[in-house]
Amino acid sequence: MTAGKQVRQTSSLAFDVHRSVWGALLCFSFGMFSLGMMSSADAETYTPGQPLEKDYESFAGAFLADHCIDCHGETAPEGGLSLQDLGPVDEINAGTWRSVWAQVSLQEMPPPDASELGVVDRLQFSDWIVDELSRVMRDKGGFHDHRDPNKGNFIDHDLLFGALPEEIRLVPTSSPARIWRVTPQEHITRLNELINTEPEYDPEKPGLRTHGDVVPTNHGGELKLYFGVDRIIKWQGGTVAYATSVKSVPAILSSARKHGLENYPDFYTVNSAEATQILDVADDIIRYMAEGPLSIAQPYQITDDPASIADKMVGDLRGLPTSLVYSTKVVRPLTPVYDLMKEDGVTDQRVRGAVEFLFEALTYRPPTDRESNQYLQIVNESIQKLGKEDGAVLGLSSIFLDRDALFRPELVEYGSPDPHGRVMLQDWELGLAVNHALRYIRPDDELRTAVLAGRMRTRDDVRREVQRMLADDSIRKPRILQFFRDYFDYDLGGYICKDNKALAETGVNARGVSHYRAMFDATASTDRLVELILHEDKDVLKQLLTTDKVVATKTDEVYFGRKRTPEETAAAAAEAKRAAAEETKEASAALKSAKKELAAFEQSMKANPDEDTAKKQRELTAKERAVSAAEKKLAAINKRRRDTENHSVDQADLSGPNLFARVSRRSFGNGSMKPERVLATAPEGQRLGILTHPSWLVSHSDAMDNHAILRGRWVRERLLGGGIPDVPITVDAMLPDEPHSTLRERMRVTRETYCWTCHEKMDPLGLPFEMYNHAGLYRTLELDKPVDTTGEIIDSGDPELDGEVADAIEMIQKLAESERAEQVFVRHAFRFWMGRNETLHDAPVLQDAHRAYKESGGSMNALITSLLTSDAFLYRTRTEPGMLAESK
């Protein structure tokens, strides 16, 4: 494939009108002539990423002069942007250079009608800008764009999956040596293992949350660690009283919730407030490990007979920890920490036992002798200062702050570099890397034994362990599910704050927190659907995109329903009214009849007191009950009429076999999330795959309406592999506030030329989803007019895909058949499991992974195995990949 083929066919019209300098940066034009650069490219070979010993004047300045200045010169520059005096990269012009980098990397520039730029020239210029921005910005927050997963697609897809030009030289790939901070969810799940015993996997109920699954977010979407809720058998009050009285601590480590991949190794650290709070939580955890609920309750609260402590539970205790009753059954793990604390006195053996247990429980590897001795000394010193209990607790708390309890190292400090400067991970680093690729809890016995026996040192070792774990359903692998959450972004719906009026207009229940609860339930349901498809492991991406299956709660009958037209709504309301009137009439008649019978019977009894036998009394009672039942029935009918029935939605018939979804522990009394679900079939012709489920649709909506741009961006990036430059900071991203215009009409502003350059990549891909409203209900009307669901796949990179679509379903059907979409999916899987963006040197890894996926009939397991046995996963270098490696 040649460089020229990679240049997208952009209309020059897109660059005619410019409003601002920043707007111009989106679309600055290069000059028409590039002969000089073409000839220089022909003469060179190039290893992408290698340091460029080129200065501004002779290289970048010349590039600008050759390609840019004609249009962006001093006189009447395009869009008012002159690059004439841009000069070498510095702090002041870094923003401009950043945009130049994006435009060149994305091949937006030079436009095809301006010049043909060789692949090598483009890469060199792009790499030079990255090097320079990294150097200049080193002490000013750094330059990270090229590491941002949302910009992973800035690497040309066809260079990764097609043939490379001859001048490009690749080197064997690897990932940088690094430390990887655990995510909040990993951290909470890790801590949870210390104080809660999760149920073992039950193959009969595979969807129930079990040991090895993550600690999920609670009823409100908050990630918390709960203490002792598995022993609470009684509490006072309702939902909020329960939530207030139980002990829980929120996630301590912070993480910015954003669309896309949530965690690369270089994203996060641990700040001082987090560190000190970890120490406090450690105190709570160690005491709970030692004493169980006694550490948070009075002794009398622990009984299997709540009635026996009625004298203690006097008055209104709602919301108080003393309102709780704990069973006597010990369910927490009893560990060497318990052993240390339960007995009087201290021995080195017991302290060491607790230290070594806790160290491994928190870092997932045994301590070295040095580490063990260090912590032993700390605990002993603390005990000397504070006495056994407080001292042991304080001393052991320090282990929670060990580097390896918060960061997972991949430092390859031991092992010999290969000729390319790469060192293969081995032993614990490799074992934990493999474990972390799939799991949040510590390695199981087999993996642990393999590491200790020196059987985690080769590619085959990794393949063996990965395949073993993938084949065993009882070994929970929440990291795989997390990948799908990151990739699809279907888990954000509960966090999208909705305007109540706008929400009510969608047809769903807008009262209280009903919608948000439904969305958290929907996330758990979609999780389960993903798991079911993974279990089949055939054509995974295609299945996810096109399945007609739905994992649903009762509430989903509304969310998967169809919004009725006003006429239909009126008709449904009238019919309901008629039916209710009929029902009322019948019930009234029945009541009247029952009363009449009762009166007659009473009259008869009164008239014949001698016949007042036991049998007659029973008859009387039966007739009284009949009256009472008839009254109740009538009252129920009236109540139902008073309750606002939802006539605006034609509810979906979601019936099917029962199954379970993984939900949080009891966090809100009886209002906690429930695991029960059904596996149903979505209404035909209305839904197709996850992208048409409310969980995904609402995750890509805003307070008032759909978010067609975000949806389109998702399709562009996650299925088509396209890149979108950042929104220029001066762009007013607001759509006009016109309540009587459709979203499509309001989005006309993005069609203005300088916006459209980017928006044509997104909007036509997002607008087909207008067939759903912003709560995810199927609709045929928008603002009482037939909804326009048309869209277009433009310049996808695969001409077969390009063209107009009637609606989201047609678009999804096309995309689900696309090999390009499959490859882009593989690219995202690569990023998730390698924790970094791909480079051109990863092309062989990506191609192998895609081949494995394809040849296995779309097996995720095959894809994961390929990735986890790749050089990119196994090897580390102590500098950036490709930089240290040999260039030949």
Partner 1 sequence: MLQGIAAGVGAAFGPSILAERLLASPATNVPPLGNSTPKRIVFFMQNQGFDPKTCIPSGMKNSGSLAKAKLPEPISPLEPYKDRLHIINGLHGLHTSPSHSAFFGALGGYRGSDGVPPSAPTIDYELSKVLPQTLLPHLCIGMDSIENMTTKPTLATLSASGAGQPIFMHSNPNHLYQMLYGGISTGDIRKQHEARTSLMLQIEQFAASKGRALPAADSQRYDQYVQGFKEANGLRDRLGAVSDHLRKFAPEVDERYTNPEFETDWHDRLLDLGISALTSGITNTLTIGSGRGEIFGAWKGLGVEQQGHNLGHMDQPDNPIWIKIRQYNSRMLVRIMEALESVPEGSGTMMDHTLIVYTSNNADKQHTNGANWPVMLLGNLDGAFKSGCFTQLDGKRPINALYASLLRAAGQNVDRFNMDDKQAKKFDAGNGPLKEVLA
Residues 6+ apart with CB under 8 A from 93: 86, 87
Residues 6+ apart with CB under 8 A from 601: 619, 620, 623
Does position 402 interact with partner 1 (CB under 8 A)? The reply is yes
Here the tokens at position 847 are 């191609």
Bridge partner list, 679? 551
Does position 628 interact with partner 1 (CB under 8 A)? The reply is no
Does position 880 interact with partner 1 (CB under 8 A)? The reply is yes
Instruction: CB nearer to partner 1: give 390 or 568.
Output: 390
Q: How far is the first Cα of the chain from the last one, in angstroms, to the nearest whole number?
A: 22
The span of 57-65, 310-318, 421-429, 582-590 binding partner 1 (CB under 8 A) equals 310-318
The span of 162-170, 171-179, 360-368, 766-774 binding partner 1 (CB under 8 A) equals 171-179
Q: Which of 64, 81, 177, 867 binds partner 1 (CB under 8 A)?
A: 177
Does position 320 interact with partner 1 (CB under 8 A)? The reply is yes
Residues 6+ apart with CB under 8 A from 316: 236
Beta strands in 337-485 (DSSP E): 407-410, 423-424
Q: Tell me how far apart the alpha carbons of residues 839 and 826 are, in angstroms, rounded to a whole number.
A: 14
Q: Which of 355, 394, 794, 809 binds partner 1 (CB under 8 A)?
A: 394
Q: How far is the CB of 319 from partner 1 (least distance, A)?
A: 3
Q: How far is the CB of 305 from partner 1 (least distance, A)?
A: 22
Q: How far is the CB of 314 from partner 1 (least distance, A)?
A: 11
Q: Which of 178, 408, 562, 718 binds partner 1 (CB under 8 A)?
A: 178
Q: What phi and psi, each to the nearest 5 degrees, are found at residue 89?
A: -65, 130
Please state the length of the chain: 888
Does position 374 interact with partner 1 (CB under 8 A)? The reply is yes
Q: Which of 265, 712, 721, 858 binds partner 1 (CB under 8 A)?
A: 265
Which residues in 447-506 contact partner 1 (CB under 8 A)? 495, 497, 499
Does position 601 interact with partner 1 (CB under 8 A)? The reply is no
Q: How far is the CB of 272 from partner 1 (least distance, A)?
A: 3
Q: What angle do CA 158, 164, 165 make, to 5 degrees?
A: 125
Instruction: CB nearer to partner 1: give 407 or 830.
Output: 407
Q: How far is the CB of 254 from partner 1 (least distance, A)?
A: 4
Does position 280 interact with partner 1 (CB under 8 A)? The reply is yes
Q: How far is the CB of 885 from partner 1 (least distance, A)?
A: 15
Contact indicator for 768, 774 with CB cutoff of 8 Å: no
Contact indicator for 881, 176 with CB cutoff of 8 Å: yes
Here the tokens at position 549 are 């299956």
Peptide bond into 366 cis (omega under 30): no
Contact indicator for 326, 302 with CB cutoff of 8 Å: yes
Does position 632 interact with partner 1 (CB under 8 A)? The reply is no
Q: Is 248 helix (H, G, I), strand (E, B) or coil?
A: strand
Q: Tell me how far apart the alpha carbons of residues 829 and 475 are, in angstroms, rounded to a whole number.
A: 21
Q: How far is the CB of 352 from partner 1 (least distance, A)?
A: 17
Which residues in 652-671 contact partner 1 (CB under 8 A)? 667-668
The span of 50-58, 203-211, 512-520, 842-850 binding partner 1 (CB under 8 A) equals 512-520
Q: How many CB atoms lie within 10 A of CB 744?
A: 19
Here the tokens at position 205 are 């109920």
Q: Is 658 helix (H, G, I), strand (E, B) or coil?
A: strand
Site string for partner 1, 699-718 (x = CB under 8 A): ---xxx--------------
Does position 513 interact with partner 1 (CB under 8 A)? The reply is yes
Here the tokens at position 394 are 């304080």
Q: Tell me how far apart the alpha carbons of residues 773 and 688 are, in angstroms, rounded to a whole number.
A: 16
The span of 400-408, 421-429, 816-824, 854-862 binding partner 1 (CB under 8 A) equals 400-408
Q: How far is the CB of 555 from partner 1 (least distance, A)?
A: 18
Q: Tell me how far apart the alpha carbons of residues 719 and 795 are, in angstroms, rounded to a whole number.
A: 13
Rounded alpha-carbon distances, angstroms, from residue 286 to 291, 358, 393, 626, 645: 9, 10, 6, 61, 51
The span of 7-15, 510-518, 534-542, 564-572 binding partner 1 (CB under 8 A) equals 510-518
Q: Is 180 helix (H, G, I), strand (E, B) or coil?
A: strand
Q: How far is the CB of 745 from partner 1 (least distance, A)?
A: 17
Instruction: CB nearer to partner 1: give 76 or 497.
Output: 497
Residues 188-209: b if buried by 16+ CB within 10 A, e if exposed: bbbbbbbbbebeebeeeebbbb
Q: How far is the CB of 837 from partner 1 (least distance, A)?
A: 14
Burial of 847 (0-12, 13-18, 19+ CB in 10 A): middle
Instruction: CB nearer to partner 1: give 161 or 407.
Output: 407
Instruction: CB nearer to partner 1: give 157 or 759.
Output: 759
Q: Which of 378, 447, 758, 765 binds partner 1 (CB under 8 A)?
A: 378
Q: How far is the CB of 136 from partner 1 (least distance, A)?
A: 16
Q: How many CB atoms lie within 10 A of CB 9?
A: 9
Q: Which of 116, 266, 597, 788 binds partner 1 (CB under 8 A)?
A: 266
Does position 565 interact with partner 1 (CB under 8 A)? The reply is no
Q: How far is the CB of 326 from partner 1 (least distance, A)?
A: 13
Which residues in 410-449 contact partner 1 (CB under 8 A)? 411, 413
Which residues in 191-220 contact partner 1 (CB under 8 A)? 218-220
Contact indicator for 679, 660 with CB cutoff of 8 Å: no
Instruction: CB nearer to partner 1: give 241 or 466.
Output: 241
Does position 51 interact with partner 1 (CB under 8 A)? The reply is no
Q: Which of 17, 65, 208, 279 binds partner 1 (CB under 8 A)?
A: 279
| Residue whose structure tokens are 């999330």 | 673
Contact indicator for 871, 167 with CB cutoff of 8 Å: no
Instruction: CB nearer to partner 1: give 403 or 640.
Output: 403
| Residue whose structure tokens are 């036992």 | 353
Closest to 593 measured CA to CA, from 558, 552, 626: 626
The span of 111-119, 405-413, 424-432, 759-767 binding partner 1 (CB under 8 A) equals 405-413
Instruction: CB nearer to partner 1: give 41 or 229.
Output: 229
Q: How far is the CB of 436 from partner 1 (least distance, A)?
A: 17
The span of 79-87, 202-210, 383-391, 523-531 binding partner 1 (CB under 8 A) equals 383-391
Q: Tell me how far apart the alpha carbons of residues 490 and 498 are, in angstroms, rounded to a whole number.
A: 16
Contact indicator for 181, 255 with CB cutoff of 8 Å: no
Q: Tell me how far apart the alpha carbons of residues 771 and 686 are, in angstroms, rounded to a whole number.
A: 9
Site string for partner 1, 124-163 (x = CB under 8 A): ----------------------------------------
The span of 41-49, 194-202, 268-276, 456-464 binding partner 1 (CB under 8 A) equals 268-276
Residues 6+ apart with CB under 8 A from 586: none
Which residues in 218-257 contact partner 1 (CB under 8 A)? 218-224, 237, 239-241, 243-245, 247, 250-251, 254-257
Site string for partner 1, 728-767 (x = CB under 8 A): ------x--x------------------------------
Please tell me the count of residues contacting partner 1 according to CB under 8 A. 88
Burial of 451 (0-12, 13-18, 19+ CB in 10 A): buried
Closest to 484 measured CA to CA, from 522, 549, 550, 529: 529
Closest to 515 measured CA to CA, from 495, 530, 535, 534: 495
